[in-house]
Homo-oligomer: A and B are copies of this chain.
């Protein structure tokens, strides 16, 4: 069922709670692909009722980012989510989420602001304010849906770790479930932004997973010196790749690692054809 209004979600949630159902929320920006589908599937397996939100959240985009051009495919999204078993697809307008005509700034709106230590690195470094917008909208969605479980992809690893931190710091009564990255057969991590790439771009984009897999296999062979691991990685890069970062951090607190170990999360961000792509791998192969 497609729902646009917060109040209508609330009415359903109230009824569900009364009947003792557990509720799962899968927050998305739409343009759903097999990665999202895996989240929805897990939610449907685990929860009595599942809400998939589809909302391209304006306050998590910077002024020079792709808010306007971000793909919007609501009809197909509804079809996919319902085919997997989602009960509600919640697709509010920005006015519905933030108040009609509300100016979207920290001058006029309450924000949830994650710790500086968690945002001052990786994607947060180039996307200033991005995670404030993410935490704020996710907190809103948690409150609107009163969900027992929240499902997030590990592809947005920094996001997942920051939302975990938010849930812990603010005692949010929800359990978070991180779900593994879904990839094309050739290794490319699924992303709604892959749509911006042409055929050559998709080929060039394989460098991200290639670098990560190479680092992992070097680590498995016993190399834990991060400079050495990075150096072999750099050899994969060509002129078509603008590397933004390649970092080794602790999977729980995002602290920079001095030596690679089983708790190390390796993250990469790289532009291909002007499109900013991200990927990551955990060196012990276990979900986080």
Contact = CB atoms under 8 A, between A and B. Distances in A.
Contacts of A115: 106-110
B116 A113 contact: no
Nearest to A139: B170
Contact of A140 (B108, B111, B144, B171): B171
B107 A117 contact: yes
Interface residues of A, number: 31
Contacts of A116: 106-107
A166 interface: yes
Nearest to A13: B173
Interface string A72-115: 00000000000000000000000000110000001111111111
A53 interface: no
A136 interface: yes
A127 interface: no
Given A6-B171, A146-B173, A170-B139, A111 B113 contact: yes
A47 to B, nearest CB: 17
A143 B117 contact: no
Nearest to A141: B171
Interface of A: 6, 10, 98-99, 106-117, 135-136, 139-140, 143-144, 146, 165-166, 168-173
24 contacts: A6-B171, A99-B168, A106-B116, A107-B115, A107-B116, A108-B115, A109-B169, A110-B112, A110-B113, A110-B114, A110-B135, A110-B165, A110-B169, A110-B170, A111-B112, A112-B112, A113-B113, A136-B170, A140-B170, A143-B170, A143-B172, A143-B173, A144-B171, A146-B173
